[in-house]
Amino acid sequence: MRDELASGERSSREVTEHYLRRIDELSSLGAFVYVSPDAMDAAAAADERQVRGQIGRLHGLPTAFKDLNEVTGMPTTYGTAAMKHHVARADHPLVARLRSEGVVITGKTQVPEFGLSSYSENLVAPPSRNPLDPRLTSGGSSGGQAAAIAAGMIPVGPGSDGGGSVRIPAASCGLVGLKPSLGRIPSDVVDGYLDSFGAPKLTVSGPLAHDSLDAAMLLDAMRGSDHYLPLLRGSYPERLKGLRIGYSTHSPFESAYSISLQPAALQAFERAKQLLSERHRVEPADLRYASDYPESFLRVWSNGLRHIQLEDEGLLGDLARDFRQRSAARSMEVSLQAAARLKQISADFVRQWSAHDVILTPAMASTPPEVGYFTDSDADTDYMRQCQYTPYTSMVNVSSVAAITVPISNSSSGMPMSVQLISPRADEGLLLALAKQLGK
């Protein structure tokens, strides 16, 4: 589609009209919280640019952005009812980057409050539901994006990942989800590589797509340079052999919570080991994670909540309210200590993983839970259930390296099950090539 739009074989108006119709038809999925009334005008302008030969890497291609990213002329809710929903006067740097590549922005997609959670439910709009089974969550925090792509409301879309927020919804909806290494997307580090407490910055932007080629196409556009798509279209994926791939089902959350894998998750994991062993050396990885990781991560993950300016704190959801109160009560000394400790843990993760070229883990521990599963109890139970569903994702953010989730098989109920591949050397091209070898 990208190539046909660039050549003029298809018009952006034709393609955009198709996707807007899909958005309207599937509104019950809750993927979109705002649909742009100006999308068709933007598509017409894209067609005029094509005639003049002024095209970018994603010329005329419809997409959407999470409701955590400011898009000029569109309201931003950040998934919370506790703030006024101002209309953005300027684009978020990632939005500006992709707008310069010619995308047509169809709207904003659903997220959890402040992007905190592995499900996309809030008090602002209906929850984002899984297109493969609307009773179930589409994941989070890029849950609306994943639902929109999986349901055919947009062809491809950018997400952000602070603890698994690209990989979790990708795995929930049967997509490829890439979490790049910190700094691979320039717009992620315009204000540096550390947070205000000195911890590694957790959140990066990454593509969600149906396959590795689409993910590589979007990654190139997000970076503003061609590399990953030409790499995947060349001979590299076929030539890639002999990697040392260490596999493990250990999670750094085991010291705090009971972590168990559903048979469907184990089945996908075993199937991936079998497929990868046809080209590579697949071996067990002896990984020993720090027992204080859960506490250190939680403190760093919630530290920033204390600084958010709210209109009405009473309109916060339970999780955000409780963790914001704990963040505010935490001393600066304790916050700084947690940041310093997480840097040490991060270095240890990378040291252990680097005994192998790639680390293979399950993606999620189970099929996606039902909408409302995480929020039917108190904040601690909510958070525990999230860690039990996503026991392997946040450690990658802490380590600032790259990881990808790839669908491998289906559960007995027909839900896709994925695995995660981690590159301790932050090699996104390697991960995309492995995804292609795995059939995606």
Cross-strand partners of 107: 35
Q: Which H or E element spans position 382?
A: helix 379-389
Query: Residue 165 catalytic?
Result: yes
CA–CA gap between residue 88 and residue 73 (Å, rounded):
5
Instruction: Say which residue the tokens 């600032």 belong to.
Output: 400
Q: Per the structure block, which two tokens stand in for 73?
A: 């002329």
Name residue 436's amino acid. K
Catalytic residue, from 12, 36, 66, 346: name it: 66
8 exposure class (CB count in 10 Å sphere: 0-12, 13-18, 19+) = middle
CA–CA gap between residue 171 and residue 176 (Å, rounded):
7
Is residue 389 a contact partner of residue 260, using CB atoms and an 8 Å limit? no
Q: Per the structure block, which two tokens stand in for 2?
A: 């990208």
Catalytic residue, from 12, 141, 212, 251: name it: 141
Catalytic residue, from 165, 346, 366, 418: name it: 165
- The backbone torsions φ and ψ at residue 405, rounded to the nearest 5 degrees and listed phi first, read -110, 140
CA–CA gap between residue 339 and residue 130 (Å, rounded):
35
DSSP state letters, 6-26 = HHTSS-HHHHHHHHHHHHHHT
DSSP state letters, 317-332 = -HHHHHHHHHHHHS-H
List the strands of the sheet with 32-35, edge to edge: 32-35, 104-109, 62-66
Helix (H, G, I), strand (E, B) or coil at 104: strand
Query: Residue 141 catalytic?
Result: yes
What amino acid positions are annotated as catalytic residues? 66, 141, 165
